[in-house]
Structure 1
Amino acid sequence: MTLTVAAVSANFTRDLEQNFAVVEQTLADARAAGARLVVFPEASIGGYLSSLGNHGDTAGAEPRSLPPAVRLDGPEIARVQALAGDTVVVIGFCELGEDGVTRYNAAVCLDGTRVYGSYRKVHQPLGEGASYAAGAGYRAFDTPVGRLGMQICYDKAFPEAARVLALDGAEIIVSLSAWPAARTATAQDLQEDRWTYRFNLFDSARALDNQVFWIASNQSGTFGSLRYVANSKVVDPGGNVLATTLLGAGLAVAEIDVEGTFRAMRAGMFHLRDRRPDAYGPVTAVASPTTVRREHAHA
């Protein structure tokens, strides 16, 4: 049985009405293409930070410069549900924590009747921790289109994150991003930029590592000082890119056969089955700050 999926490349800002208009039109386009699973980028509701590094939002900027923080059970998520209908949608937003103060870079998977899962970003790059608290872990969950796992942006640089989801039975891992071009020595052709290269390499590597379908969404255009590289895509368990937006806004749409592909690919070499956890002790050992500094000095 095949399933049509779509990865979204689009630009999202602080203008919530504009954001919802983009979501509505994108879902209409995706449905017209037959998509039953549509993955929007990180921070699709309210936009991402306007800068990264030791300036701007991540250096203690006033709250009004930050994305609006919304509750998982709030009207903004309910509005996405109303637009989703019977389509399974994954979308990124800034979540307001249970204490009414703490903010998380988050994602939710839902359709018009149910929230299937939510996730708070674990790995934080370039001072993002000044604007968001970190999440605590990963779990897969069942949906009408299969068992899914979610990641956000920098998470894809950590093989352990995708592996945990695969071991929890994820058949499809969705990776939402607001991934920009390099801040220095940016390539004239953004498709050749070194951060674009890394974004694409991580997507194929994580799919192949875990022999899962990988759906990567990313913002496009610009916001604040950030210039996004787009390149939303669908990758098969062999690491092959089935569809991509490259630098443009739009949809990367692909028809996938989860059961048939897994049966063919995992019949021989099955990476999860052939692991040797007894040999991986240092992977989960907590390094001391001294060890980390010493290793960084010799890198």
Structure 2
Amino acid sequence: MSSLRMAAVAAPFDRDLEADFARISSLIDQARASGVRLLALPEACLGGYLANLDGGAAGPPALALDGPEIRRLAALAGDMVVTAGYCEDAGDRLYNSVVCVHGDGVLGNHRKVHQPLSEDATYWAGNEFAAFDTPVGRLGMMICYDKAFPEAARSLALDGAEIVVCVSAWPGSRTNAAADLTQDRWKRRFDLFDRARALENQIVWLSANQSGTFGDLRFVASAKVVDPGGEIVSDTGVREGLAVAEFDVRQALETARRSMSHLRDRRPEAYEDLAATRC
């Protein structure tokens, strides 16, 4: 077994795609200099997120999965595995997506399934969660609000994901906002979801997020790495930065699951109809 150095990013991004690429290039260089092999960039880091969540704002530039921007991202990644959020142009539909790239090209792509507030005014919803193999292990990906649904992370864990990367543009509360972001209730939820999803599935969890402000939104940053016991190993707090940690991932999973394995000890027959239940 061998250790893997990984990092999750908290940083600001906007509609200036060239400036976004310059920032991404700098972050990749910084991570590579620290020995990082897996780097998680935030949701919508290629072109910025929505300026508000009320359905009235223009969205980011639409990029094709097989287009020049994603090839450029892969070239920047080189020998690293990098995940990055973007607005996916799928012909007659746009998706809020996250791509995983390596110097060899695209390794995986996820379209955001769960849409908060009026996000569906801009994007179509994805319809699946699937893990995939990479040079650094088997990964799963999700975007922001996806992590509020336990079934999403559980699906990835059952598909063999050892590491789940969740990229976000998670803002502070829009009502009763806290002057101090560290006391913001939406930040507390962000952190709780990160820890709970790692612990209940006994997986390594990388959480990247936007920082700063864009349009009406003030992002909580709080990029972090969480171990399979739900403990935060590295965290940027509410500031821009890199949360860096190093694990022997398979050993960490084996240790967490040695006595009580949440995946092994499930009783699917007791809740097999759960997915079909409607509230």
TM-score by length of 1: 0.92
- Aligned pairs, how many? 278
- Aligned partner of 1:103 in structure 2 is 94
Residue 88 of structure 1 is matched in structure 2 by 81
Q: Does the aligned pair in 1 maintain the 2:162–2:250 contact within 8 Å?
A: no
CA–CA distance in structure 1, aligned partners of residues 252 and 78 of structure 2:
28
- 2:12 corresponds to 1:11: yes
Alignment-derived partner of residue 233 in structure 2 = 242
Deviation digits for residues 145-204 of structure 1, max 9, x if unmatched?
A: 000000000000000000000000000000000000000101111011000000000000
- Superposed structure 1 runs of 4+ greater than 3 Å apart: none
After superposition, the C-alpha distances for 1:113-149 in whole angstroms (9 at most, x for unaligned) are: 1211101000000011110000010100000000000
3-state SS in 1 of match to 2:26: helix
Q: CA separation in 1, counterparts of 2:274 and 2:202?
A: 20
Q: CA deviation at 1:281?
A: 3.2
Report percent identity of matched pairs.
58
For 2:32, the aligned partner's letter is R
Distance 1:185 1:123 in 2: 24
User: Per-residue deviation at 1:112?
Assistant: 1.0
What's the TM-score once normalised by structure 2's chain length? 0.98
The superposition leaves residues 60-117 of structure 1 with CA deviations (integer Å, 9 ceiling, x where unpaired) of xxxxx210111000011011111111010000000001xx221000011111112111
If you compute each CA radius of gyration, which structure gives the higher value, 1 or 2?
A: 1
Question: 1:257 Cα shift?
Answer: 1.2
Indicate the residue corresponding to 1:226 in structure 2: 217
Matches within 5 A, 1:42-191: 42-53=43-54, 55-57=55-57, 65-97=58-90, 100-191=91-182
- Matched to 2:229, the amino acid is G
Query: Is the 2:111–2:127 contact (alpha carbons within 8 Å) kept by the matching residues of 1?
Result: yes
Which ranges in structure 1 are unaligned for 5 or more consecutive residues? 58-64, 293-299
Distance in 2 of aligned mates of 1:149 and 1:85: 20
Are the counterparts in 1 of residues 71 and 105 from structure 2 also a CA contact under 8 Å?
A: no
Cα distance in 1 between the residues matched to 2:56 and 2:257: 47
Q: Secondary structure at the match of 1:4?
A: strand
CA distance in 2 between counterparts of 1:101 and 1:245 reads 38
Measure, in 2, the Cα distance between the counterparts of 1:264 and 1:226.
40
